[in-house]
Structure 1
Amino acid sequence: MAEREEISKEELIRALLASRSRREVEPTADLIKKLKNLHFEYASNANRFKPGDLVVWKDGMRNKKMPKNGTPAIVIEHLATPIISNTDNAGSAYYREPLDLLGGFIDEEGDFVIYHFDSRRFKHFEGD
């Protein structure tokens, strides 16, 4: 009978995580359709927002925790020249993101805060 090789719990967890990260996702027709639709929404932004406009995330475009989906923000300024995010990590979703929209919203603590955003991720708010 062959001897069983001992492996530590940490080594087992690392091996499981590594194998999970190497799994490939089989692209389905629905996934391809969603990807194409999101690209179209992202790339087709004819909106030029002006101060005072209310905006919300486009469906599937939120890449920050705040504001929450469906929660309006008010445009402070739409910059003519975007600020390029200085995130150093090329593996980050924010790497070289063009930030051309200053939006204000009320955070979870009830405070008015202003963040920089990529305007292509937003649409005009349709509500009161």
Structure 2
Amino acid sequence: MSLVLDIISAALMITGAFFFTVGTLGLIRFPDVRSRLHALTKADNLGLGLVLSGAALWLADWGVAVLMLLCWLFALAGASVSAHVIAGLETDHAEQRQPVHHTGELPAVGSPTDDDDDAATAPGADDRL
């Protein structure tokens, strides 16, 4: 029976390590913040659960298994809260950013730009002269 439990626990831990790897690749490869957060939180939470389940099964101690379950639940709560905060901050900053359209042409020297209009109406603009 010990050999079967060792094989199952090793399989759980290897599968958890695979999900950690997939989550890390998602963090590197996905283009935007929300996709990265989704890949990282889902894969890492599942990977952590599998690794801790395999370790608890391998150790065969109920006290340690309960502590590992509590660690996993705290990690689930922390990951979901931090992902929510990061997604909220990304949404706030995405609303402030304006899309940039590059035409490949530089403005002519001495041509008015949007910054010149802002400088003329800025408080204290006449103090600079």
TM-score, normalised on structure 1? Answer: 0.25
Q: Name the structure with the higher helix share.
A: 2
Q: Which has the higher strand share?
A: 1
Structure number with greater Rg is 2
Give the TM-score normalised by structure 2.
0.25
